[in-house]
Amino acid sequence: MRKVAIIGVGMTKFGENWDKSFRGMVTEAGVKAIQDAKVKGDEISAGYVGTMASGSLVGQEHAGALIADYMGLNPIPITRVEGACASGSLALRQGVMAVASGLHDLVVVGGVEKMTDLDTAAVSQILGGAGDQEWELFMGATFPGLYAFMARRHMHEYGTTEEMLASVAVKNHANGAHNKYAQFQREITIEQALNAKMVADPLKILDCSPITDGAAAVVLAPLDSASSYTEKPIEILASEQASGTLALHDREDLTSIKAAKIAGQNAYRKAGIAPKDIDVAEVHDCFTIAEIVATEDLGFFAPGQGGPAALEGKTKIGGEIAVNTSGGLKATGHPVGATGVKQACEVAWQLRGEREEAQVEDAEYALTHNVGGSGATAVVHLYKRGY
Amino acid sequence: MRKVAIIGVGMTKFGENWDKSFRGMVTEAGVKAIQDAKVKGDEISAGYVGTMASGSLVGQEHAGALIADYMGLNPIPITRVEGACASGSLALRQGVMAVASGLHDLVVVGGVEKMTDLDTAAVSQILGGAGDQEWELFMGATFPGLYAFMARRHMHEYGTTEEMLASVAVKNHANGAHNKYAQFQREITIEQALNAKMVADPLKILDCSPITDGAAAVVLAPLDSASSYTEKPIEILASEQASGTLALHDREDLTSIKAAKIAGQNAYRKAGIAPKDIDVAEVHDCFTIAEIVATEDLGFFAPGQGGPAALEGKTKIGGEIAVNTSGGLKATGHPVGATGVKQACEVAWQLRGEREEAQVEDAEYALTHNVGGSGATAVVHLYKRGY
C-alpha cells in the first residue's frame, strides 16, 4: 500500500447558511480544496462524499453523482458514504484506501450537511436515526438524552463535575473565537455554561453542539508525488474504523466508547506512535461529555482524568495537548456529514502552521476522532507534517 | 491489485415483507451468504452495505454499524454506501476494491431496502431524491415520468414500439416465474402488458418495476484463496463506475445513458472481453425502456435495435444473450439498495450452474448493470466462472 498525503483543503463557513444550498456548499468546499491543491479538475480521478441524511434533510439522495455533475467532474466515479456523524471520516477513509491501493492518484473527498431548513424537532428526529431507531428513538431517546446517560455514569464512576463539562465548552468557544469558519466566534464564561438552559440533565444548551449547515473537502495524493503539488503535504499515517453496538443499552460500559478505543489503538499501532506524540487533536465533542470521554479513550488521559484535565486547562492551546483548536463541534458547529472532513482541514492547517492566533507551536503530529451515533462507528486518523 | 472472487451468496425473498424488518432482512441475507461461503464470521474483516434511503423509508441511518451489531461482526468496520438505485453495486465495488488492494481478505457486501411500510406517493417522493431534487422533483417529475421521456424519444428516433416495451415485461415475468425469490412468480401476456393502466405515457403499470422489500449479500475473497472455501468461485473481472448528469434535461441524448456506456466500455477493456462473450446479463430494467436502452448501451445490440431484439426473443434464455434471467427488477422486484447485490447473486448462481429451470446453458461470462437515478450513476461488473 502506498503512503497518502493531503495536498489541499477547503471549507465553507459553518453556520445557518440560509443563502447557500446543499449542492452549492459542497461545490464551494470542493473547488476551494482543488484550488488549494493547485491541481486541475481533470487530474482528479475519483471522489467520495460523506453526508448523513441529505435524503431526509433536503430531499436529495445521490450526492456523489450530484457533486460529479456540479463540480464538472463527470464521468469520474464519486461515491457517497454514510456512517451517521462519522460520515465525513468514512469518506476520507475510502479516499485514503483508493489512493493507498494504487487504484487512483488524485482523489477529492467532501463532507456536507444542510440542516437548518427544518425545525429543531424534525432535525432531532432525523439525527435519532444514527442510534437504534427501533429501541432508542421509538422510545423517545434523542441524542442529548443518550449522551446525558453517559455523562451521569461518568460523574457517578469518576466524580466528573458539571464544571468540568462546562470547562470544555468554555475552551472550545475560546478556540472558535479565532476560527473564521466557525458558527460561534465568541467566548463564553463558565458561569454562562453552568447556568444555561437544561436540555437533558446534566447537559445544558452550552454542553451541546449546534445544528449547522456546512461543507468541507480535501484532496488526496500519493505521498511520493505530493511535493510536486504543494510545499506542505500532510501525511496520513493511519486511517482506522471500528464498530460498536448501535444501542447504548447494549454496552458493557457507558463511560467509554469501545469502538473509539479500538480505532485509536489500531491507528497508533499502525503509525508506530503513541498518544504522547500527538500535538493537536480534533475530537468529536458533540456534547461536552463526549470530549472528556474521547480524551480518555484516545489515551491522552487515564480513565476518569479527562474531566479534571479539561478543568485544569491541559487541553487548551499551549497545554499538554491542544484539543479542538477549531472550536470543535461545539463552537465550529456540527453539519454532521461535514464534521470529519472539517477535522482533517483543521489539523492540516495546524500542521502547515497556518492557524495564526490558534496555532499550536511546532505541531508535528495530529489526530482526528469522529464518532457516529452514540459510538457505533468510530474513525481515527493520524497525520504527520510531511515536509 | 489482486484478483477477487465471489465465494458465497444469499438473499431474502423479495416482496411485500411485512413480517420482516430492515435489520432482519439484511441480517438474513448476510448470514445466508456467509453460510454459503462456508466461512466463519470472525474470518470476515470488513463489510459494505448499499441502501438508498433507509433514513427516509424507515427512520434508520447508520446501517453499517447496525449490520455489524446484528450480525455479531463487531468491531469490524462496515460502511454504508449510497448511489440511489445503484447503491448495491457501489457496495460491491467498494468490497472488490478492499480485497483487490490487499487491505482485507474476506469481505461481506450487502444491499437492502425496506420500502412497503409507506404509501406509494411517499415512496415516489423519496425515490425522486435519486434525481435532481431542485430541478426535477420540485417540478413534479417522478421516475416514471423521467423514463417516459426517454421512452418517447427512443420511439421517435428509432421506431421503438409499445409492443417492444411490453415484450420486455413478458420475458421478465416468464423468467421470474422460475425464481423462488421473486416478488412476482407468474407469467403475463403481451395483451395484459399493453392494456395495463397507464402510469406515464407510454409506460403502463406493467412497464414499471414494483416497490419491494428485500436484501441480498455476497462474500468476497482473493481469487487465489477462493478455492479453499468453495468449489465454484466466481471471478470478478471488472468493477467500473461512471457518473453522468443528475438531471435528464442536461443530457446530450435521451436515448442512451452515457455513464452506463462509459462504465461498460471501461469494464470490457479491463477484462479483455467483448459484449459478444457475455452469456448472461442482469441489467437495470427499472422500466421496460431501461432494459432496451441497457442492451444497446452495453453493446449487445446496435442503437435502436434493442426493441426489435426484445420483441424477437433474442434476450430470452436460449436466445442470443440471456438478459434478466432472475426476472429483472420488473418481476423479482426492486428494493433499491438490494438490487445491485441481487444481480451479483443471480449471475453467481448462473455461473455455478444452479438455476435449474432458468439455467443458461454452459454460462461462462456474465455482466451486471446497475443504474442510479435516471443514469447519473452507472456501475458495470463482469464475472467469469472461476473453476
Predicted confidence at residue B180, as pLDDT, reads 98
In this predicted model, what pLDDT tens digit does every residue of B1-13 receive, in sequence order? 899 999 999 999 9
In this predicted model, what pLDDT tens digit does every residue of B312-335 receive, in sequence order? 999 999 999 999 999 999 999 999
b or e along A91-128 (b: 16 or more beta carbons within 10 Å of the residue's beta carbon)?
bbbbbbbbbbbeebbbbbbbbbbbbbbbeeeebebbbb
Angle, vertex CA A85, rays to CA A83 and CA A89, nearest 5? 70
Out of A54, A243, A373, closest to residue B78 by CB: A243
In this predicted model, what pLDDT tens digit does every residue of B135-145 receive, in sequence order? 999 899 999 99
In this prediction, residue B96 has a pLDDT band, given cuts at 50, 70 and 90, of very high
b or e along A374-387 (b: 16 or more beta carbons within 10 Å of the residue's beta carbon)?
bbbbbbbbbbbbbe
CB contact under 8 A, B102 and A76: no
Min CA distance, B167 vs chain A (Å)?
31
Size of interface A-B (CB pairs under 8 A): 204
Return the amino acid letter for A284.
Answer: H
- State yes or no: cis peptide before B210, omega within 30 of 0: no
Interface-testing mutation among A3, A49, A61, A108, with chain B (most B C-beta atoms within 10 A): A61
Question: What are the phi and psi torsion angles at A11 (to 5°)?
Answer: -155, 160
Helices and strands (H and E) in chain A: how many: 14, 12
Residue pointed to by grid coordinates 491501493: A101
Helix H or strand E encompassing A280? strand A280-282
Interface-testing mutation among B243, B336, B370, with chain A (most A C-beta atoms within 10 A): B243
Q: Give yes or no for B190 touching A (CB within 8 A).
A: no
Q: For A136, which residue in chain B has the nearest alpha carbon? A: B60
Task: Work out the mean pLDDT of chain B and round it to a whole number.
Answer: 97
B-chain residues near A78 (CB < 8 A) = 243
The pLDDT of B254-258, averaged and rounded, is: 98
Q: Which domains does chain A have, with CATH numbers?
A: 4-119+212-234 (3.40.47.10), 128-209+237-385 (3.40.47.10)
CB contact under 8 A, A94 and B100: no
Between CA B151 and CA B157 the distance in angstroms is 10
For residues B296 and B305, is the Cβ–Cβ distance under 8 A? Answer: yes
CB contact under 8 A, B243 and A100: no
Predicted confidence at residue B216, as pLDDT, reads 98
How is residue A52 written as a grid cell?
Answer: 448523513
Q: For A71, which residue in chain B has the nearest alpha carbon? A: B245
The pLDDT of B162-190, averaged and rounded, is: 98
Predicted confidence at residue A155, as pLDDT, reads 98
B-chain residues near A63 (CB < 8 A) = 82
Helix (H, G, I), strand (E, B) or coil at A197: coil
B-chain residues near A80 (CB < 8 A) = 81-83
Residues 6+ apart with CB under 8 A from B165: B151, B193, B202, B203, B207, B288, B289, B292, B307
DSSP string, B86-153: THHHHHHHHHHHHHHTTS-SEEEEEEEE--TTS-HHHHHHHHGGGS-TTTTGGGT--HHHHHHHHHHH
Q: How far apart are the first and last CA of chain A?
A: 21
Given a cut of 50, the residues of chain A with pLDDT beneath it are none
Angle, vertex CA B176, rays to CA B37 and CA B48, nearest 5? 35
For residues B47 and B76, is the Cβ–Cβ distance under 8 A? Answer: yes
Helix (H, G, I), strand (E, B) or coil at A262: helix
Residue pointed to by grid coordinates 431474502: B12
The pLDDT of B167-189, averaged and rounded, is: 98
A-chain residues near B242 (CB < 8 A) = 75-77
Predicted confidence at residue A272, as pLDDT, reads 98
Q: How far is CA B76 from CA B23, B28, B41, B45, B96, in A?
A: 17, 19, 11, 6, 17
Predicted confidence at residue A383, as pLDDT, reads 98
Q: With both helix axes pointing from N to C terminus, report the angle between B87-100 and B336-351 in degrees, rounded to the nearest 10.
A: 60
CB contact under 8 A, B103 and A81: no
Q: How far apart are the first and last CA of chain B?
A: 21
Between CA B46 and CA B94 the distance in angstroms is 10
Other C-beta atoms closer than 10 Å to the C-beta of A203 total: 24
Predicted confidence at residue B123, as pLDDT, reads 96
ipTM: 0.97
What residues of chain B, 27 to 86, have a C-beta less than 8 Å from chain A? Answer: 52-56, 58-66, 68-69, 73-84
Name the pTM for this structure: 0.98
Which position among B154, B284, B334, B381 bears the catalytic label?
B334
How is residue A90 written as a grid cell?
Answer: 468514512
Q: Give yes or no for A134 touching B (CB within 8 A).
A: yes
Integer Rg of chain B from CA: 19
Angle, vertex CA A266, rays to CA B218 and CA B77, nearest 5? 25
A-chain residues near B62 (CB < 8 A) = 82-84, 129-131, 246, 372-373, 376-377
Interface-testing mutation among B61, B113, B139, B241, with chain A (most A C-beta atoms within 10 A): B61
Out of A58, A61, A246, closest to residue B69 by CB: A246
Min CA distance, B9 vs chain A (Å)?
23
- State yes or no: cis peptide before A202, omega within 30 of 0: yes
Active site residues of A: 85, 334
Q: Give yes or no for B377 touching A (CB within 8 A).
A: yes
Helices and strands (H and E) in chain B: how many: 14, 12
CB contact under 8 A, B80 and A83: yes
Other C-beta atoms closer than 10 Å to the C-beta of B189 total: 12
Between CA A240 and CA A157 the distance in angstroms is 29
A-chain residues near B137 (CB < 8 A) = 59
Q: Give yes or no for B267 touching A (CB within 8 A).
A: no
The pLDDT of B84-106, averaged and rounded, is: 97
Beta-bridge partners for A243: A377
The pLDDT of B147-170, averaged and rounded, is: 98
CB contact under 8 A, A61 and B53: yes
Predicted confidence at residue A252, as pLDDT, reads 95
DSSP 8-state assignment for residue B13: P
For residues A112 and A58, is the Cβ–Cβ distance under 8 A? Answer: no
Q: For B66, which residue in chain A has the nearest alpha carbon? A: A246
